[in-house]
Structure 1
């Protein structure tokens, strides 16, 4: 998982993440990774509209956000 997080950080990609909190609740979040430090990373969370710190071990899945623009002819 750490490799995927590092790749998303290096490409400045938005990602959809499934995350399990310390209390066991699971949430889906769209984040932009800002920095990686050891076993955690800091990201801007679009769900909470704040910078948050996440544990890498608590990330269940990570999927890059692909935006396709529609072109009107």
Structure 2
């Protein structure tokens, strides 16, 4: 998966971009990771302007912002 990018966001307070699958819809989210568990990622979502929980299995891609 994309654990390295997620961990870097958490440890270095880096903003990242993820592709996230929810139902049949794929969305691009810009997030800042706050907490990582075995199953999910808690992060501030800049699209929704609030803290959200993302299931790790539904994260299709993750990369650093430029």
TM > 0.5: yes
Match of 2:51 in 1: 51
Instruction: Name the structure 2 match of 1:36.
Output: 36
Gaps of 5+ in 2: none
Which SS does the other structure have where 1:7 is aligned? helix
Task: Count residues with an aligned counterpart.
Answer: 65
TM-score by length of 2: 0.88
Structure 1 residue runs without a partner (length 5+): 67-73
The runs of at least 4 consecutive aligned structure 1 residues that moved more than 4 Å come to: none
The answer to whether residue 27 in structure 2 is matched with residue 24 in structure 1 is: no
* Higher Cα Rg, which structure: 1
Tell me the equivalent position of 2:11: 10
Q: Matched residues in 2 for 1:46 and 1:60: separation?
A: 18
Contact in 1 for aligned 2:31/2:46 (Cα 8 Å) = yes
Deviation, 1:41, is 0.9
